[in-house]
Structure 1
Amino acid sequence: MSSEPQVEFKVLFMGPFRGGKTSILEKYLYGKPPRDHVASMGTEVFHKKIISNDIVVGINFWDMPGQDRTPSLSAQLVRESQAVILVFDLSDKKSFEECSKWKQALDTKLEKVPVFLLGNKVDLVASQKMSALKRDMKEFCSRNSSKNPIVTYFMVSALSDDKVLTESLQQIIEHLLTMSNPASSRNNDSIPIGQERPSREKSCKCS
């Protein structure tokens, strides 16, 4: 079988400044620990290949720079995206509040594209605050799903929890595969090339 992708997806990674987008991608793709924060100066594309039902699938993650101001998205940059992952810092209330601006900016450029809310740095959140955070994230999904639906939300850590991070992103990839082929299911044989299938945990649905 050729290792060249037969199907490709474009996934936008976007969100407020210091949310940890690049750290999440580098941990998921390369196993690298988070670096000291260095602001991304431009969009960087990361690539991932998996095999699904004997088809090589390419996932292109577009890591968009965070902005410490009202986001402005280029229509040319976001077009032909099949999914959006909206990343924020769970330990920073302002970061979560700014997600609304990012979702509004996205809704002016795209329509009917699935969005996934990804809260990073869960390792910095006190256990007594977890229930309130989950409630707030679920409410955010419900309030902001009119044009581009927010499918679900995840709470991850690019620093301390490889398993949950890997499974969260794998569930997003499987959602894309199901959308592109309705006959497929969540139990399809989709695994990263060169890796074993991770075990599963429940995700948090927004509905």
Structure 2
Amino acid sequence: MYTLLSGLYKHYTQKEEFYVIILGLDNAGKTTLLERIKSEYSGVPGLAPEKIAPTVGLNIGKVDISNARVNFWDLGGQRELHSIWEKYYSECHAILFVIDATDKERLDEVKQTFESVISSDEIEGVPVLMLANKQDVPSSLKVHDIKETFNQIALKLGARDSKVLPVSALRGEGVREAVDWLFVRLQRNRTNRPPVYRS
């Protein structure tokens, strides 16, 4: 009897977990975004922007949305760290690709990096959300400019869910809308990438 009750309790208390990797070049604002996501969903202020150092390796953030937990893996954006990104592809349920919309000089590098990411077979069918960050800066590229630049690559995304959204990680503008969009896609893509269950 105890085993049955224990099994039922475990079944009803286990939580779905999803893993989202945050990618992009160095200085795109990935860690600032992660801190903002954590504060938006937990109500606890994140790390102050001036205390955020470049990521070497990985930063992790966990937030509960609805009845699920979403784990964010913020991976270092320096070129020499790009080779470790692939190690996370097979376990991820979605990709958040962050662009520094003020850095027009590196747009070609961003394009090549993004193309390399979405060309991997390991992330076939995984939702991709591109965020045009730093929209609080008046000179930043707007979403339609970025879409125009990435139009040729968009064909490689195939039938998977993808979108480009404007955000300001610093001010929090558009962050909740971006994560909510992503969460709906995580749920929708569960047949292709089932969640992990944890007690």
Q: TM-score, normalised by structure 2?
A: 0.74
User: Residues 46 and 91 of structure 1: is their aligned pair in 2 closer, same or farther, counting only changes over 3 Å?
Assistant: same
Partner of 1:88: 99
Higher helix share: 2
Q: 1:70 to 1:167 in 2, by over 3 A?
A: same
Q: Does the residue aligned with 1:180 lie in a helix, a strand or coil?
A: coil
Partner of 1:176: 186
> What letter corresponds to residue 168 of structure 1 in structure 2?
A
One-letter amino acid matched to 2:18: F
Q: Any idea what SS the aligned residue of 2:20 has?
A: strand
- 2:56 — aligned with what? 41
Q: Whose RCO is larger (CA < 8 A, sep 6+)?
A: 2
Q: Structure 2 CA distance, aligned partners of 1:74 and 1:22?
A: 15
Q: How far did 1:123 drift?
A: 0.8
Q: 1:90 touches 1:125 (CA, 8 Å); kept in 2?
A: no
Cα distance, 1:146 vs. partner? 3.9
| Cα separation, 2, equivalents of 1:76 and 1:167 | 28
- Change over 3 Å in CA distance of 1:117–1:140 after alignment to 2: farther
Q: Give the deviation of 1:178 after TM superposition.
A: 2.5
Post-superposition shift, 1:179?
2.5
Aligned residues: 172
Displacement of 1:98 after TM fit? Answer: 2.3
2: CA distance between counterparts of 1:172 and 1:125? Answer: 26
Spell out, residue by residue over 1:14-46, the C-alpha distance to the aligned partner (whole angstroms, 9 max, x if none). Answer: 001100000011012124342355211111221
Distance of aligned partners of 1:101 and 1:71 in 2 relative to their CA distance in 1, 3 Å threshold = farther
State the 1:171 CA deviation. 1.3
**Quick one: structure 1 residues 36 and 95, their matched pair in 2 at CA, closer, same or farther if it must change by over 3 Å?**
farther
Aligned to 1:114: 127
Q: Which residues of 2 match residues 48-197 of structure 1 at below 5 A?
A: 48-51=63-66, 56-68=67-79, 71-106=82-117, 107-108=119-120, 109-126=122-139, 133-148=142-157, 149=160, 151-160=162-171, 162-180=172-190
Amino acid of the structure 2 residue aligned with 1:90: A
- Measure the CA separation in 1 of the matches of 2:79 and 2:87: 22
Cα 1:113–1:20 change in 2 (3 A) is same
- Scaled by the length of structure 1, the TM-score of the pair is 0.71
Structure 2 gaps, min length 5:
1-8, 40-44, 192-199
Change (3 A) 1:170 1:5: farther
What SS class does the counterpart of residue 145 from structure 2 fall into?
A: helix
| Aligned residue identity for 2:95 | V
2 CA distance for matches of 1:67 and 1:171?
27
- Rounded to whole Å, the distance in 2 between the matches of 1:74 and 1:151 is 19
CA shift, 1:4, in A, is: 6.2
CA displacement, residues 69-124 of structure 1 (integer Å, 9 cap, x when unaligned): 69324433221211101101111113433222222332235322221110111111
Residue identity opposite 1:171 in structure 2? W
C-alpha distance 120-95 of structure 1, shift in aligned 2 (>3 A): farther
**Which one of 13, 18, 29 corresponds to residue 20 of structure 1?**
29
* Structure 2 Cα separation of the partners of residues 69 and 150 of structure 1: 29
